[in-house]
Amino acid sequence: MKKIRIVIILCIITMVCSPINQVYGNSQFVSKNQIFYDIKGKQENNSEFDNGSKIEKIIVSEESINNLVLLGKVWGYLKYYHPNVAEGKYNWDYELFRILPKVIDADKSTRDKSLYDWIESQGDFKIRDRVKPVAEEIKVAANLDWITNSNLSNNLVIQLTNIKNAERKGINRYVSLDWGAGNPNFQNERSYEAMKYPDVGYRLLSLYRYWNIIEYYFPYKYLIDENWDDVLREFIPKFINSSNELEYNLTVLELIERVHDTHADIFGNPTLQNYFGENLAPVKINFIEGRPVVVGYYNEALGKKSGFELGDIITGINNRTIENIVEDNLKYYPASNYPTKLRNMSSDLFMTNDDFLNVEFIRGDKKQSSKLQCYPIDEIFDNKPKLNKDYFKLINSNIGYIYPGTIKNEYIPEVMSKVKETKGLIIDLRCYPSDFIVFTLGSYLMPKSSEFVKFTQGNIYEPGVFHMKQPLKVGKNNPNYYKGKVVIIVNETTQSNAEYTAMAFRAAPNATVIGSTTAGADGNVSEIYLPGGIYTMISGIGIYYPDGGETQRIGIVPDIEIHPTIEGIKEGRDELLEKAIEIINGE
């Protein structure tokens, strides 16, 4: 969404060889770059709606919203459940535009008849003799009760129920499961990038596409605070009434925020970049003790020139209090938990399209104000020296320190030979690992193979169902494993692969996790494209502890909770590192 935010994409490479490849056979898994089926029939030369949906206006009323809620559910259900739609016999985006005018303002009887006839036109299919039993635990069941609870005509209920029981081949034009981890790949979804402000039909397509992806392929839908059906109803008028390009993009961003997933956001979007600001102050702030505090500089020279000092507490920007700014903007910051929302927002508080920000702050006991100069974002970072933090150091002769943000697997044997006789090892996961070190470093930390994670995976045969897979193990039989204390440092920047790594190393016999709430978004990501050239992602598989304990939204819960303090920032101290050293020394 914003240039200075780091996009974290997890790919657990070693999971490619995990047993999940054999669960359903190969039909369900498709290479990420593979697009299957040469679409013929109604797909061939289908250009009727290339330049627009031909739906100029929708009047919002209780009846139209009721009809559009039902249509969104039926359209998505058929997309993932109907065998002929799955085979790619129809351009499913364009089919929405064909049925929309028939149901928007229709009475119940006419609406149900139109839907029934539309579904009939999609052709015959086979009904399964029986559902094959699956030995794996079902973590999440498909929510299809709406078929019988929506007061639909008997014919339509029977028709939709038959589709639920249809024989599916495990291949769908619009979704496949990646080899290895099995996260969904939403292929053949056009982004209609040329339509910067899509018409009302395409805006509803955007809502329906995203809503149904979450409904059937988001492993954590059950953790969403709101009823997901209610979210669909709420956003239909918002999408219809989005009056320009910016309003449409903000509405999509607000929808994405509702899934509460730190992997989700809108990335690389010039419209939103301009809305949040093209210029940035060189001063870096984080929320410390619940308040935005200067913790450093994006650009050392420009930062010091600003006059702001470490530990300055920001209380207002451009005559608005921080509390009001945060309250008004939380809906635009997708994240799994509140600390991570503040993490993401902190980098944007000093963004603007102006040359200066009027900033109110507290230094010591004194309230002050200053005009803070801002610069184009590229200028801020182009002038910043490239810093490569050492991947390893000996803090003293008894304590080793590993920084996974720069370490490579090939360095690990040498590192572990240097710490073999030390009293303790600190693994600082306040970063994103530069390499996948779970099994390489893990083999040195464990005396034997230990379970550390279970995960769920979606289903092409039964969309909306997520099965729990067998636990994965880290480590090996190793009598010469590292016997010193292991302290793992985490905070809100510990995300995705970093969280997964913390889960694994926590299984070491003498491991202690210290710090604060992590980002709460673990597991491989799945990319989503929406009309208007919008690009977003979701966590594509569910990640759990071996006992089934949650990680999404909760994050990696530390054994010892510790946060930086404002005084510590002023003094230039790393209080979490100090605590890690204290633990190892037994103080």
pLDDT in tens, 285-321: 999 999 999 999 999 999 999 999 999 999 999 999 9
Q: CATH code at 332?
A: 2.30.42.10
Query: Looking at the structure, do residues 125 and 76 belong to the same domain, yes or no?
Result: yes
Q: What tokens appear for 349 in the block?
A: 């508080």
168 occurs within a structural domain: yes
**pTM of the full predicted structure?**
0.92
Sign of the C-alpha dihedral, residues 489, 491, 497, 503?
A: positive
268 occurs within a structural domain: no
> What is the 8-class DSSP label of residue 43?
G
Residue ending a domain, among 216, 244, 263, is 263
Do residues 115 and 122 touch, judged by C-beta distance below 8 A? Answer: no
**Would you give per-residue pLDDT tens digits along the chain (587 residues)?**
454 443 333 333 333 323 232 222 333 443 333 333 333 444 545 799 999 999 989 999 999 999 999 999 999 999 999 999 999 999 999 999 999 999 999 999 999 999 999 999 999 999 988 666 666 789 999 999 999 999 999 999 999 999 999 999 999 999 999 988 899 999 999 999 999 999 999 999 999 999 999 999 999 999 999 999 999 999 999 999 999 999 999 999 999 999 999 999 999 999 999 999 999 999 999 999 999 999 999 999 999 999 999 999 999 999 999 999 999 999 999 999 999 999 999 989 999 999 999 999 999 999 999 999 999 999 998 655 555 799 999 999 999 999 999 999 999 999 999 999 999 999 999 999 999 999 999 999 999 999 999 999 999 999 999 999 999 999 999 999 999 999 999 999 999 999 999 999 999 999 999 999 999 999 899 999 999 999 999 999 999 999 999 999 999 999 999 999 999 999 999 999 999 999 999 97
8 occurs within a structural domain: no
> What is the 8-class DSSP label of residue 20?
G
CA 247, CA 249: separation in Å to the nearest integer? 6
Query: Looking at the structure, do residues 400 and 497 belong to the same domain, yes or no?
Result: yes
Query: Looking at the structure, do residues 189 and 285 belong to the same domain, yes or no?
Result: no
Residue ending a domain, among 214, 235, 263, is 263
* H runs (alpha helix) in 315-445: 322-329, 338-346, 377-382, 412-419, 438-445
169 occurs within a structural domain: yes
1 occurs within a structural domain: no
Element (H, E) at 544: strand 542-544
Q: CATH code at 575?
A: 3.90.226.10
99 occurs within a structural domain: yes
Query: Looking at the structure, do residues 363 and 222 belong to the same domain, yes or no?
Result: no
Nearest to 179 by CA among 30, 388, 9: 30
Domain that holds residue 340: 274-382
Do residues 203 and 238 touch, judged by C-beta distance below 8 A? Answer: no
pLDDT at 2: 52
Query: Looking at the structure, do residues 287 and 207 belong to the same domain, yes or no?
Result: no
CA 10, CA 522: separation in Å to the nearest integer? 8
Exposure pattern of 12-23 as b/e (b: 16+ CB <10 Å)? beebeebebbeb
**Tens-place pLDDT, residues 164-179:** 999 999 999 999 999 8
> How many distinct structural domains can be found in the chain?
3
Query: Looking at the structure, do residues 356 and 411 belong to the same domain, yes or no?
Result: no
pLDDT over 90, % of the chain: 88
554 occurs within a structural domain: yes
Q: In sequence order, which residues have a C-beta less than 8 Å from that of residue 197 and are 6 or more positions away?
A: 244, 245, 248, 532
pLDDT at 381: 87
- Crossing angle for the helix pair 200-217 and 92-103, to the nearest 10 degrees: 110
Query: Looking at the structure, do residues 466 and 564 belong to the same domain, yes or no?
Result: yes
Query: Looking at the structure, do residues 47 and 136 belong to the same domain, yes or no?
Result: yes
**Tens-place pLDDT, residues 5-55:** 433 333 333 333 232 322 223 334 433 333 333 334 445 457 999 999 999
CA 482, CA 441: separation in Å to the nearest integer? 10
Do residues 257 and 332 touch, judged by C-beta distance below 8 A? Answer: yes
pLDDT at 20: 30
Residue ending a domain, among 263, 284, 303, is 263
6 occurs within a structural domain: no
pLDDT at 131: 65
